[in-house]
């Protein structure tokens, strides 16, 4: 479970309820069946019209992605791996790397590694893997688009709900107390529309885009590493090519760590 997504949603509802209490309103006013139907069912209806079913049926999967931790290899895990593979490839040849295939869990990296071992050209590997990354980004873009559109429709449906509520409220012109309650209830739909649009749907879309960008970035690092190993680059060169993906502060820390490690090894050798 990704804690930030869950905590954000809970905090959003806490702010909504807390704001009503601080303003002297009764939070029980949120339990408005008409408003809930107009906003949530109305948003679902709009999405069904806007998207084909084969995309809409992925909605539960997309929610699971939003609330799940992203399992990706990190830059700091990949760089030592490629450095080691470059060392083996230069010493024993690319075919010697075949023994490492069974230890690779990532399908993208494993597939690229297999192409390198099979002797595909530099251009062919780059073209295939770049197309794979672009296809992935397009799939993710369509998924995020569902939530983006939901965030667009919900606030407008909130206005529709307010209009419907006001139409009902006008039937109580003879009873001022009931009229006041009806007008207040009419704006609950607007409240839900704005809340779901800007606290749920749009942020959900942004989270999916961020996760997509993170995955694409890791795959680009894998691609750079594979091409560097295939070209016979030195382990140091492979490492330098991949370090550019790390923030400069982390690169410096990594260099200091290696220097300290070399000094320790040197002392051990002298002893």
In tens, the pLDDT along 60-86 reads 999 999 999 888 888 888 988 899 999
For residue 63, is it within any domain?
no
Question: No. of H helices and E strands in the chain?
Answer: 12, 0
User: Hey, how many other C-beta atoms are within 10 angstroms of the C-beta on 232?
Assistant: 13
Distance of CA 94 to the CA centre of its chain: 35
Average pLDDT over residues 139-167: 93
User: Hey, how many other C-beta atoms are within 10 angstroms of the C-beta on 136?
Assistant: 15
Judged against a pLDDT cut of 80, whether residue 269 lies above it is answered with no
Distance between CA atoms of 247 and 94, rounded to whole angstroms? 30
DSSP SS3 for 193: helix
Q: Which domain holds residue 12?
A: 1-31
For residue 16, is it within any domain?
yes
Residues 6+ apart with CB under 8 A from 253: none
Average pLDDT over residues 111-123: 90
For residue 5, is it within any domain?
yes
Distance between CA atoms of 227 and 126, rounded to whole angstroms? 8
For residue 3, is it within any domain?
yes
For residue 194, is it within any domain?
no
Concatenate the DSSP letters of all residues of 58-89 into one string: THHHHHHHHTS------HHHHHHHHHHHHHHH
Judged against a pLDDT cut of 80, whether residue 23 lies above it is answered with yes
Query: In total, how many domains does the chain have?
Result: 1
For residue 266, is it within any domain?
no
For residue 26, is it within any domain?
yes
């Amino acid at each position: 479970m990704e804690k930030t997504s869950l905590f954000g949603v809970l905090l959003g509802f806490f702010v909504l309820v807390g704001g009503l209490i601080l303003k002297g309103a009764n939070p029980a006013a949120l339990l408005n069946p008409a408003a809930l139907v107009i906003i949530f069912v109305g948003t679902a209806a709009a999405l069904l019209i806007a998207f084909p079913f084969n995309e809409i049926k992925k909605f539960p999967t997309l929610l699971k992605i939003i609330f799940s931790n992203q399992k990706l290899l990190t830059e700091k895990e990949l760089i030592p791996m490629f450095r080691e593979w470059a060392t083996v490839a230069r010493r024993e040849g690319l075919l010697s790397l075949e023994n490492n295939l069974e230890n690779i869990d990532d399908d993208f990296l494993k597939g690229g590694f297999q192409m390198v071992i099979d002797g595909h050209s530099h251009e062919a590997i780059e073209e295939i893997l770049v197309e794979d990354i672009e296809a992935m980004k397009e799939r993710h873009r369509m998924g995020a688009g569902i939530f983006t559109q939901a965030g667009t429709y919900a606030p407008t449906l909130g206005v529709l709900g307010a209009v419907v509520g006001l139409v009902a409220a006008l039937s109580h012109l003879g009873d001022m107390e009931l009229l006041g309650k009806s007008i207040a209830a009419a704006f609950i739909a607007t409240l839900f529309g704005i809340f779901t649009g800007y606290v749920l749907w749009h942020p959900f879309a942004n989270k999916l885009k961020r996760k997509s960008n993170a995955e694409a970035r890791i795959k680009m690092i894998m691609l750079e590493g594979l091409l560097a190993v295939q070209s016979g680059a030195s382990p140091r060169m492979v490492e330098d090519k991949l370090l550019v993906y790390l923030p400069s502060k982390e690169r410096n820390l990594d260099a200091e760590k290696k220097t300290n490690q070399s000094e320790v090894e040197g002392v051990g050798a002298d002893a």
